[in-house]
Amino acid sequence: MNPSYARLKARAARIATLGEASAMLGWDASAMMPPGGGAARAEQLATLAGLMHEMATAPEVADDLAAAQAEGEWDQANLALMRHDHIRATALPTALVEASSRASSACEKIWREARRHADFAQVRPALEDVVRLQRETAQALAAALGMAPYDAMMDGFQRGVTTAEIEPIFDAYEAFLADALPRALDIQAARGPALPLAGPFPADRQRAMAQAISARLGLDYSHARLDESAHPFCGGTPTDIRITTRYRESEVAQALMGVIHETGHALYERGLPGAWARQPVGYAAGMAAHESQSLIMEMQAARGDAFLGFLGRELQAAYGGNDAAHAPANLAKLWRHVERGCIRVEADELTYPAHVILRFRLERAMIEGRLEVADLPDAWAEGLSRLLGIAPPDDARGCLQDIHWYDGGFGYFPSYTLGAMAAAQLMRAARTATPGLDAALGQGDAAPLLGWLRVHVHSQGSRLGLQDLLRHATGKPLDPADFTAHLTARYLTA
């Protein structure tokens, strides 16, 4: 192996190991850490971020990148990603990286209280600090990468996707939704109300069922654990997966579907190529790719008619109640219910993209300096009214509902809807290639689907960008028509 490339690989592995430690500290902060640990944890995370940045930008890295040579498709892709990562890293001074980490950690802790009290004013100064630093970051990255500032932020989450590609996709979806939503609501009303599931649903029993179903989907709990947090997420490392959810004893779907969603993320991490662990090419292909894996499990598979039949039997056995309430058609009424709601994480898949479009437009405006933090609540209400015809009753159900901005995550939101579109496209291809897929899902068996994803998505790591990954798996780049066709079949057919 070329000596310069060998040194780069060794350095990448050490940086990745520090990143894994940071990920575990982040998980602990959300799931286990007592409130009094916040200040120290912020300093720990900032120090790790600074160390990783110093290692990535050391002068000898540039020398090794100039001299490095790689043979073979995977090594060549790995080296190309190293060069791209180095451009991003050297664009940012260590002081800015550490300041951003500290500001985000501090703001995220304040946000928890502000959301609890529906008080945006409480977190506004901290968010202003975060946005100021994110604007600095975006400007520096844009200059280094030759991109617009917001595109440079998105590049950190999904390489190769630009605003110029996203805007027409989102504009077209807004037009589709304006026609589809009232039609879907009319069809839903004609079908009549759903029968309720008999509760209560004790949290410990929900947890046991959710973990058992997650394991049936393929998650190996010798390499994973399930905990609770205010905002469900998947974290950890590919060999130590941490997923979280939250429980309401009055209903069962939020936690169950949340675990299935995070299991999709976890299965992707577990399926990444082990031979390339802790190398750039061994990571997931980006957050839109990651969201496609959570949504193919939750929306495409688990909320489909076949898997609902399996879930109905499981719920009946666990909680008893009316047989008719557990029938697939009734569960579809309950768990594919369409409404104009304020909360993104509770939205149905037809209206969910509207929530993403709103956030995409607002965060882009903030990064570009066209929207100030003080004006965010009003801009949020105006945008939601335009997209869904409703307004949030308070800040907790408005601009305080998501953690992303308060934790410094600007540029992430488009990945959710791009991922939903990719999930529909991948599911269509998987069904074509695996004729017995739905019959297996009807028995709670996701092995045929997971096996196809392992080959066509998971094992590819980040060797391919999103568009090339979709070409590899489905024969074409991202095609939003597959998503609207899926929605039409599920929601617009009487």
Q: Residue 385 and residue 91: Cα distance in Å, rounded?
A: 39
Burial of 168 from C-beta contacts in 10 A (0-12 / 13-18 / 19+)? exposed
Give the residue among 221, 264, 262, 214 at the shortest CA–CA distance from 239.
221
**Four-residue CA torsion sign, 213, 215, 216, 217:** positive
Per DSSP bridges, beta strands 234-237 and 240-245 are antiparallel
Identify the bridge partners of residue 251 per DSSP, sorted by sequence position: 248
- CA 255 to CA 203: how far, in whole Å? 9
Report how far residue 459's alpha carbon sits from residue 333's, in angstroms, rounded to the nearest whole number.
36
Q: Where are the alpha helices (DSSP H) in 272-301?
A: 287-295
- Joined together, the tokens standing for residue 3 give 């000596």
Residue 156 makes CB contacts below 8 A (sequence gap 6+) with 88, 141, 411
395 and 118 Cβ atoms separated by less than 8 Å: yes
Is residue 235 classed as helix, strand or coil in its secondary structure? strand
For residue 48, give Cα distances in angstroms to 23, 278, 365: 10, 16, 30
Q: Hey, CA dihedral for 135, 138, 143, 148, is it positive or negative?
A: negative
Phi, psi of 29 (to 5 degrees): -60, -35
Residues labelled catalytic: 262
